[in-house]
A and B are shown apart, each in its own frame.
Chain A
């Protein structure tokens, strides 16, 4: 059976959920061979094996943290050369897309970004994508070379499928370009203890209607009652009420949770681009004409300062 390279997104050896989803998709096309780089790379093996990786290629070097993107491209290319896979799958983060694009160019292949589903097809893997703020669904494939495809979080269910997961050291020679862009300082993002926005099953968002940073705890309390991640519209972010890392939409994160609750958000096209594929959509907005209501499964026309605290209280009461 053909091998499929899967690029592993991990933090010091802890594999992030979108990579495990990729393994599910990879198994539809062939046998997953994982590539884990940087600090803690070998520690990823157990989780990857548990989810179907037949092999885990690892390499640790300071370059991965000290320089931007290119060292990872060099390593992925080394893995590609050693495996000759049928496809290369990469998580669709900003960095993932850049790595995938440069690899595709080097190996003379095409690239598909932000796939939301993947199936085997007669002419190679068929990727499903959303276009124009998720108002269209397209099916695409790579016409030349080995398919290089980046896949969005929440595109497949994580499935246990134990495999050998044999760890092998990958031999990597860095290119002249590898050290071109130096990372001179790094400030890790502080953990909020809440689920990762792109990975969360439930997202609770606030917009301009929240009317101030001091009111965001109302949104956070609702999120916490549901074990949800917190999102924000660009209007709320631009006003400085909530960090940009939490922005949902075209220039923020794109989310596709089971449940999305929009509070005080009008539903502009750029916001919808980042949340329209959510399974169930709920909105609280005092303007009955707000476009967000065109998307909802359930909407409450009302003041969020009345509705949201009552909802939170009711949820907490029901949980006992």
Chain B
């Protein structure tokens, strides 16, 4: 039987751009170029490798996001995923992590799955909680923050490098996995991949397709509220010296003046 892999990917504002908040204090997605979150490329990569090892596997990439989030799906398809699902609805604007996990879980169930693979965190929100929330909602094991992952005979195994120890983990499918940027470089889409992606199916679902009500999501449905966002004042320009043989001593003098020595 085919191994059904769903990879959750997020469309995020480019971290090297001038990211900021919109007037309603949601992440401004209009003024900054967006892209497939780099950390989700690692999830797509591991899905492709797991699919390669399996006799028969199908990779669906799933995103919840605005119109332009299609770009993220296209990128994942051009890397080699088989098909895509785009959950898009005007009422989704401002959805928080709890709400996003609800929409993703509904979509994953509707799509059918044996294995969900997520990134370690989104590069805009950087919460790193959606995979755990998905496991809780789906009622399946969470095997998260893996720097190494493999699937064999219906069992997923992986290594999680934690603060105090490195752990080997194991769980039966179905399961939710998340992978770190230590899991291995993501491939670049080939020209052939880019051409092929244009013909791959992208399904569009809205809230009604998932039996969800507008009040359950969006800014109104959010469980957390941002009351203010202020730009951090630029750091006051510091002293910069050129080393002409005494740079280390000058630095020591500065540190002593600041009472660090």
Q: Which residues of A contact B (CB under 8 A)?
A: 11, 68-70, 73, 93-95, 97-98, 100-102, 104-106, 109-114, 126, 130-145, 177, 180-189, 202, 226, 234, 244-245, 250-251, 258-259, 269-270, 273, 276, 280-282, 284, 288, 293-303, 306-315, 318-319
Select one of B124, B127, B160 contacting A113, CB under 8 A: B127
9 interchain pairs, CB-CB under 8 A:
A73-B136, A102-B135, A177-B139, A189-B164, A250-B15, A250-B126, A297-B235, A300-B248, A302-B243
Q: How far is the CB of B44 from chain A (nearest CB, A)?
A: 16
Q: Complex formed: what's the CA distance from A59 to B172 in Å?
A: 27
**B8 contacts the other chain (Cβ, under 8 Å)?**
no
Contact with A along B120-147 (1 / 0, CB 8 A): 1101101111001101110111111101
Q: Which residues of B contact A185 (CB under 8 A)?
A: 167-168
Given A98-B142, A132-B15, A300-B243, 10 more A-B residue pairs with CB atoms under 8 Å apart are A101-B127, A101-B136, A105-B137, A133-B15, A137-B229, A177-B139, A181-B143, A251-B39, A306-B245, A307-B251
**B214 contacts the other chain (Cβ, under 8 Å)?**
no
A302 touches B247 (CB 8 A): yes
With A111-B97, A301-B241 given, is the CB distance from A101 to B223 under 8 Å?
no
Q: Which residues of B contact A202 (CB under 8 A)?
A: 260
Q: Complex formed: what's the CA distance from A250 to B161 in Å?
A: 16
Q: How far is the CB of B45 from chain A (nearest CB, A)?
A: 15
Select one of B136, B144, B162, B166 contacting A106, CB under 8 A: B136
Select one of B141, B169, B229 contacting A136, CB under 8 A: B229
B142 touches A180 (CB 8 A): yes
Q: Which residues of A contact B147 (CB under 8 A)?
A: 244
Q: How far is the CB of B103 from chain A (nearest CB, A)?
A: 14
**B230 contacts the other chain (Cβ, under 8 Å)?**
yes
Q: Which residues of B contact A307 (CB under 8 A)?
A: 243, 247-248, 251
B239 touches A245 (CB 8 A): no
B170 touches A70 (CB 8 A): no
Contact with A along B222-250 (1 / 0, CB 8 A): 11111111111001001111110111111
B243 touches A94 (CB 8 A): no
A111 touches B252 (CB 8 A): no
Which among A134, A276, A298 has the highest number of chain B CB atoms within 10 Å?
Answer: A298
With A68-B142, A136-B21 given, is the CB distance from A97 to B129 under 8 Å?
yes
With A136-B230, A183-B169, A307-B251 given, is the CB distance from A301 to B223 under 8 Å?
no
Q: What 4 pairs across the A-B complex have the smallest Cβ distances?
A: A310-B248, A302-B243, A110-B223, A180-B141
Q: Complex formed: what's the CA distance from A185 to B200 in Å?
A: 41
Q: Which residues of A contact B50 (CB under 8 A)?
A: none
Q: Which residues of A contact B19 (CB under 8 A)?
A: 132, 135
A245 touches B161 (CB 8 A): yes
Q: Which residue of B lies closest to A132 (CB)?
A: B19
Q: Which residues of B contact A188 (CB under 8 A)?
A: 164-165
A113 touches B252 (CB 8 A): no
Q: Complex formed: what's the CA distance from A260 to B145 in Å?
A: 27
Q: How far is the CB of A293 from chain B (nearest CB, A)?
A: 6
Q: Which residues of A contact B121 (CB under 8 A)?
A: 251
Q: Complex formed: what's the CA distance from A281 to B137 in Å?
A: 43
With A110-B96, A299-B241, A313-B248 given, is the CB distance from A70 to B142 under 8 Å?
yes
With A132-B19, A143-B222 given, is the CB distance from A183 to B168 under 8 Å?
yes
With A136-B231, A138-B226 given, is the CB distance from A113 to B129 under 8 Å?
yes
Q: Which residues of B contact A293 (CB under 8 A)?
A: 238, 240
Q: How far is the CB of B95 from chain A (nearest CB, A)?
A: 12
A94 touches B238 (CB 8 A): no
A131 touches B96 (CB 8 A): no
Select one of A136, A259, A297 contacting B20, CB under 8 A: A136
